[in-house]
Structure 1
Amino acid sequence: MRAYRLLTEDDTAAFCHKVTEALAKGWELYGSPAYAADPETGRMRCAQAVIKDVTGEYAPGLKLGEL
């Protein structure tokens, strides 16, 4: 099965750490990062999709962050 996650965070070092942690756990970048303003907070937000091939079947309760 191929798992998909969209990592998001304010535009701070925390976002880079979140993506780096996913890469260290075997996730791969999928597509380009996105960058947009959050109109409610006035902050810039980042997003990056990642994918990972894992064993097993998909289930709605699957905890993607634990893969």
Structure 2
Amino acid sequence: MKIYRFLSGDDTSAFCHKVTEALNKGWELYGQPTYAFDAANGVMRCGQAVTKEVEGEYDPDLRLGTL
């Protein structure tokens, strides 16, 4: 089955490390990254969708970050 995650966070190196970790665990980038200003907190935020093929069947209780 194909699984999907949306990674998000403040525009810091921590976000880049989060995406890098996912890529090294077999996730693939899906689509373009997003970048938006969070006016309430005065920071830029980033987002990136990733997908991965895994064995098994979909379960809504599946913890995607553990795959």
TM surpasses 0.5 = yes
State the 1:40 CA deviation: 1.7
Structure 1 residue runs without a partner (length 5+)? none
Match of 2:65 in 1: 65
Alignment coverage as a number of residue pairs: 67
- Kindly provide the CA deviation profile for residues 5-57 of structure 1, in whole angstroms up to 9, marking residues without a partner as x: 00001000001000000000000000010000112211100000000000011
- Identity fraction in percent: 67
- Provide the TM-score with structure 1 as the length reference: 0.97
Structure 2 residue runs without a partner (length 5+)? none
| Aligned counterparts of 2:60 and 2:39: Cα–Cα separation in 1 | 31
Residue type matched to 2:55 in 1? T
- Provide the TM-score with structure 2 as the length reference: 0.97
| Aligned counterparts of 2:39 and 2:59: Cα–Cα separation in 1 | 34
Secondary structure in 1 matching 2:20 = helix
Aligned-residue RMSD, C-alpha: 0.5
Match of 2:49 in 1: 49
| Aligned counterparts of 2:11 and 2:25: Cα–Cα separation in 1 | 22
Residue type matched to 1:9 in 2? G
Secondary structure in 1 matching 2:62 = coil
